[in-house]
Chain A
């Protein structure tokens, strides 16, 4: 008698018919499995150390020298270093998560994901974990080397809140990345270009190198919608607590609450969207086709 009996089910997860423990283990394995190629890939091809760490550090340095040419107060150099560190996460979310499902389809992996008894959120979470390895390295180098080289002095009074804001920013950013991954998959070839579009304009409205409050209404709108903007504004206030130049739009605690709301919203929407595209992929059978 065959172990595999055909029965009609909604998804591979239902077909597996596993208990909760096994579902958890398989999803954890899925996360590790999807993170693995990114981490091991970085080890096998060390060129990323030059292109993902040293050269972006030089880009950040360019903005430091803009402020130096203007004889700006030293805090502004600190803003640039902090912003340079956080761009690592934004770029990771955009390139290695939002646009990733679209590329996975081009490579023929997407149908494998849909047919595996693993949640798509686990796959995307694995991508995030794998990508975080490079992003954290880049952010740490920018922050540490930038601070030492350019004499940035951080004055942190609320370490707990600063760490909480940082992790909430990451949660909201990666939640947004999952939402965008679903949209980009539906939009097809536009995904690539939209990834491009969501860099400099987002840096500008997020106040990457200056307090976002100086942008007035545009800054307020960014704080209400873009995790990078609200996270940076809160971290800037917390990392340079004694500086009048930080001039946050809201208090760090209020911005932390906004980040909680964003993280819950984006992850919830991502769950709905991923469920939608999985259903659509199975029912219509077209989502995994290339060239759409």
Chain B
């Protein structure tokens, strides 16, 4: 049984036309609670003007991504005890590299529209989805089984990416991972989208995306694989001029 902690929440506030600033809220929490619970407590009992996103509270919807003490986290599954100590501070900021709408809520519009433009699939047939211990060979019937894609479109990877920090046109890890899962062999028209300065070549192998992904997408590995796919496609096209 854990004792309650007394912590301070430093929350980034920014309404339209205002300068961003931090507001501090002191509260008593159970350290086994999640960071999202603490943010909700601010809204419920202390300051109804706080704006943030949340929905499922079990790491499926991807709505509650924020930066906690300078690290990207999915706050519904981040324990308070992992991020601070009794008497400590939790610094809560919105995700980077997205326009801020209000306080902790950011505009995820470009993420969603770009995912659509690469045709990222949210449901994959089992032989194409990466699952643990797949059978050595899939039979024709196994294609009828489907699996939800790992990516929950939370945007943590884009927030953490140093290339996304300098360029808004860079597609970003989530989108490139979605393109990779789609595969260039199935969709050769993706080549124009990903083989350019705003596509895979802007990635500088920082691996920050994989480090913060809460959902086993491993975007860095997928971007590397996409590069290999692109190089193979370009080589074959050299010899197959239609």
A and B held together in a complex: no
Chain A positions within 8 Å of B, measured between CB atoms, are none
B residues touching A (Cβ–Cβ < 8 Å)?
Answer: none
